[in-house]
Structure 1
Amino acid sequence: MSVEEFREKILGAWQLLSYRAEPVNGDEPIYPFTKNAQGIVIYSYDGYLSAQLMAPGRVPFHTSDRLAGTEKELADGLRTYMAYSGKFSVYRGLDGHPRLLHGMQVSSFPNWIGDTQERVAKIEGDILILSPADPVSLAGKIVRPVLQLRKL
């Protein structure tokens, strides 16, 4: 499949089926937002993406004022939700697999703002599988996150 065909296939909204982080040392996978993580990733025709991932059962704040939460509510809110948006592009990696570049104009994790991250991408049937090109640090471990999504 050409890069152009791959880009056409990923356009639209995708529902998260699973989000796991596989430790590079072979330990059991970590499920950052539980095994029942929820989320939607959208790739638009004009080259933008939006990724929203969260743990199920997030506890509401004690107030409807989102800035007046307790320190625990605010910390838990960040710990159980991840989001970013920006420009994306598709190219073919040296390994022959499609690669995505996710530009992060905005992000719930401030360290990612202005970053560009590379994703290895493949489609198996109606499932899109995404993972970073390189392992990352998560909860003190070096892992390779893997997202599986189904087209909405």
Structure 2
Amino acid sequence: MEKTFREQVIGTWKLLEYTRINTDGKRYYPLGKDATGFLMYTQDGYMSAQLMAQERPEYTLEGLHNGTLQEMAKAAHGYHAYSGQYEVDEENQTLYHHMEVSMIPNRLGKMQDRKIVMDGTKITITSNATSSYIVWERAPDHSKNSL
């Protein structure tokens, strides 16, 4: 039996490319060409997206809240994250992300649609609102790993 669209997207995806198209039609890489990240869709209807630029400057002092405002601003500038529930439109192969947690406060409580194009072990996610194109590949299964 063929898997549903929802069943096909469930799992963990590793970032391959994150690009946007600016107003003059040129493609650019908001987090650099070597950005990395993970996207997760769980069976129970939750998702999490984490994207970051490589080589973000370290804080002078160790600790979650020990960076200066300038250090924290630079770190945040190279990072994008949000999570929450998601809904699936099987017919249109679209996912709806509910922004329950977001690095960008303006997005809290909002919903964003994500059009998905599946191609084997890769998916491309597009967003008309931001003219972004994000390519992910299915991450290896590490469920059997243990210490």
Number of residue equivalences: 138
* 1: CA distance, partners of 2:10 / 2:64: 32
SS of structure 2 residue aligned to 1:68: coil
Matches within 5 A, 1:50-65: 50-65=48-63
Contact 1:98 1:120 in 2 (8 A): yes
Q: Provide, for residues 22-71 of structure 1, a one-character-per-residue CA deviation record: whole Å limited to 9, x for no partner.
A: 12532x21101000110000000000000000001111101113223122
Match for residue 110 of structure 2? Answer: 115
In structure 2, what residue type is equivalent to 1:147? I
Percent of aligned pairs with the same residue? 33
Output aligned runs, 1:16-55, within 5 Å. Answer: 16-26=15-25, 28-55=26-53
Deviation at 1:21, TM superposition (A): 0.3
TM-score, scaled to structure 1:
0.85
Question: Following the alignment from structure 1 to structure 2, what is the Cα–Cα distance between the partners of residues 40 and 66?
Answer: 21
Aligned AA for 2:75?
G
- With the length of structure 2 as denominator, give the TM-score of the two structures: 0.88
Q: Retained in 2: the 8 A contact 1:43–1:50? A: yes
Task: Point out where structure 1 has 5 or more consecutive residues left out of the alignment.
Answer: 137-143
Q: 1:107 offset after TM fit, Å? A: 0.7
Note the alpha carbon deviations across 1:57-113, whole angstroms, 9 max, x for none: 111101113223122201111100111010011104xxx641110011001111111
The CA RMSD over aligned residues, in Å, is 1.6
Structure-2 change in CA distance of 1:98 and 1:24 (3 Å): farther
Question: Which residue does 2:138 correspond to in 1?
Answer: 151
SS at match of 1:59: coil
Matches within 5 A, 1:1-150: 5-26=4-25, 28-92=26-90, 97-132=92-127, 134-136=128-130, 144-150=131-137
3-state SS of paired residue (1:58)? coil
Distance 1:23 1:7 in 2: 31
SS at match of 1:53: strand
- Are the aligned partners of 1:18 and 1:35 in contact in 2 as well (CA < 8 Å)? yes
Opposite residue 46 of structure 1, the aligned amino acid is D
8 Å Cα contact 1:97/1:122 also seen in 2: no
Segments of structure 2 that go 5 or more residues without pairing to the other structure are 140-147
SS in structure 2 of the partner of residue 118 of structure 1: strand
